[in-house]
Amino acid sequence: MQDFSKTREVLIKACLSALDVRRLNIEHDLRDCIDSQNTETKSSAGDKHETARARMQVEVDRLQKLLFDIKTQEEELKKLMGNSHRDVVSAGSIVYTDKAVFFVATAFGKLELGLQSIHVVSVKSPFVMKMLGLKAGADFEVNGIRYAIEHIA
């Protein structure tokens, strides 16, 4: 039988690694945006200059929010390290259904791990709320689609 605690750790590490790449890309974009903002010189078209600076500031704010979200996701994932197996769906569970595999962790999205697609979903999402506390053999419905829980790791 597969060691699901190892699978959980592999999933967490894969998510953390992908988040690290996202973070590096966002930090690069943020530096570029700040550099552009700082080098923008006052031109004779004052309104045009101010509009460009305002747009850049909106982009800087958006990128800073993304960085904050990534830090939050990293913290959520690290809390799940070493979580033990439970018989019911909860934070840290790997839920095998008849339609897909879900890792209840953070709002990450689809993760390709080898040949397996795993949907990494937030414990706070409406989708997960429908399956929290359920055991293998139970089923639940989301948006008119019925899912049967085959196994929980």
Tell me, yes or no, whether 106 and 58 share the same domain.
Answer: no
Tell me how far apart the alpha carbons of residues 30 and 28 are, in angstroms, rounded to a whole number.
5
Residue 89 inside a domain? The answer is no
CA distance 94 to 73: 17
Q: In terms of domains, do 101 and 74 share one?
A: no
Least confident of 4-8, 39-43, 78-82, 146-150: 39-43
**Cα–Cα dist 141/134, whole Å:** 12
Same domain, 11 and 56: yes
Tell me the CA end-to-end span of the chain in Å, nearest whole number: 12
pLDDT digits (tens, 9 = 90+) for 132-148: 999 999 999 999 999 99
Which residues contact residue 109 at a Cβ distance below 8 angstroms, ignoring those fewer than 6 apart?
119, 120
Q: The whole model's pTM is what?
A: 0.81
pLDDT tens per residue across span 14-49: 999 999 999 999 999 999 998 887 776 555 456 666
Over residues 77-102, mean pLDDT: 90
Q: How many domains does the chain have?
A: 2
Q: What are phi and psi for residue 152, nearest 5 degrees?
A: -125, 130
Same domain assignment for residues 57 and 122: no
In angstroms, what CA-CA distances link 42 with 30, 58, 127?
21, 19, 50
Same domain for 54 and 108? no
Amino acid, res. 5: S
Q: Is residue 87 part of a domain?
A: no
- Specify whether 103 is located in the same domain as 64: no
Q: Is residue 84 part of a domain?
A: no
Q: Range of 106's domain?
A: 94-152
Residue 123 counted as domain residue: yes
The answer to whether residue 88 is domain-embedded is no
